[in-house]
Structure 1
């Protein structure tokens, strides 16, 4: 994903009300940026850290800026949770992920049972439902998910197990938007029920792919697939 326009540089003052952040731009102006992230953003918030924003010229929006990334430990961390969905959709459509290639029809936001999945792919042989989650939480050298309790996330896992039970392919993709981690694992201390459900899903045939995203102010692209450890 290449950013079509040059991003706006600034520094974080504070994040508040979940979806808002005050940013000081390089010219000294203080603006409010939309934060497209419903999680706690634990381990990727630091006052006065460098950030990049997208400028959006839309009179219907309350703010003209969307917060895209923050610099932590000398590397960029992507915090916009809408980015991973687009990355995986484009990658599956363009046959860029070996484990998920071979599909001739790829769609976004397709419903199965009581859940709506981020990506649906099919060919003449099979149907595949893919749920995508953004990962920004770092603990030691681990990328962990979630960074806050997620009832919706557990619901997706349970529905993926139903998908698999019906003979379709069920895939859980975690897009890790930071470079300073080596392994993916569920955040047991934050949401133990999610960790239990993820392990159960894996045991019942749901495929798990934690994929690192390489984040920069010019583009965000998919990199290597990380190893993962499941706990309960």
Structure 2
């Protein structure tokens, strides 16, 4: 995925009210950027760090910038939580991810039971529901999810188990927007309930697919599948 507009460079002053961040641009101007990440942003929030923003030309928007990434440990970490869904849809549609290739019909935001899944794909052999989650937190070599308690995330896992029970393919796709990790795992200390449900879902046949991406100011692209530990 290439960014359509040239990103604007600056320095993070602070993030507040979950969805707002003050940023000092290179020209000295201080602006307010929209932060799509509603989580704690643990391990990817550092005041004074370099950031990149997308300029937004929308009169309906109160903020004129969207925060895309932050530089942590000399590498870019993607914090825009809307990016993984677009990345995943494009990847499934074009067959970039081998484990999710070969589908002739791919849709976004499809309802099943009491949940709405990010991607639905099918071919002559199977039907598949995919839930996509953004991962930006790390601890040592581990990429961890979630960075805050998520009852919605547990609900998605339980519904994916229903999908599998009805004979369809169910996939939990984690898009890891940082390059300084080697293994994916649930954040048991933050949300033990989610970790337990993920293990239950895996045992029930729900597939776990942690995919790492390379984040740069020009583009964000899938690089490799990571192993996982439950």
Aligned match of 2:126: 126
Aligned to 1:97: 97
Counterpart for residue 212 of structure 2: 212
In 2, Cα distance between the equivalents of 1:4 and 1:189?
A: 38
Equivalent residue for 2:224?
224
User: The residue matched to 1:44 in structure 2 has which SS?
Assistant: coil
Deviation track 1:17-75 (CA, whole Å, cap 9, x = no partner) reads: 00000000001100000001111000001111000000000000010100000000000
Unaligned runs of 5+ in 2: none
Residue of structure 2 equivalent to 1:149: 149
Find the counterpart in structure 2 of residue 26 from structure 1: 26
Q: CA–CA distance in 2 between the matches of 1:172 and 1:136?
A: 16
Query: Following the alignment from structure 2 to structure 1, what is the Cα–Cα distance between the partners of residues 163 and 103?
Result: 17
Please state how far the C-alpha of 1:6 moved relative to its aligned partner: 0.6
Shift of residue 5 of structure 1? 1.2
Equivalence for 1:50:
50
The alpha carbon displacement at 1:125 in A equals 1.5
Map of 1:185 onto structure 2: 185
Query: Residue 124 of structure 1: CA displacement?
Result: 1.4
2:70 and 2:100 mapped to 1: Cα distance?
A: 30
CA distance in 1, matches of 2:95, 2:178: 23
Q: TM-score, normalised by structure 2?
A: 0.99
Unaligned segments of structure 1, at least 5 residues: none
What is the rounded CA distance, in whole Å, between the counterparts of 1:100 and 1:154 in structure 2?
23
* Secondary structure of the structure 2 residue equivalent to 1:70: strand
1:76 counterpart = 2:76: yes
User: Equivalent residue of 2:61, what SS?
Assistant: coil
The residue matched to 1:60 in structure 2 has which SS? coil
SS at match of 1:134: strand
Count of aligned pairs: 230
SS of the aligned residue for 2:205 comes to coil
* Matched residue SS, 1:173: strand
After the TM superposition, which segments of 4 or more aligned residues of structure 1 sit over 3 Å from their partners?
none
> Corresponding residue for 1:139?
139
TM-score computed with the length of structure 1 as normaliser: 0.99
| Partner Cα distance (1:55, 1:205) in 2 | 42
* Partner Cα distance (1:166, 1:38) in 2: 33
Q: What's 2:87 paired with? A: 87
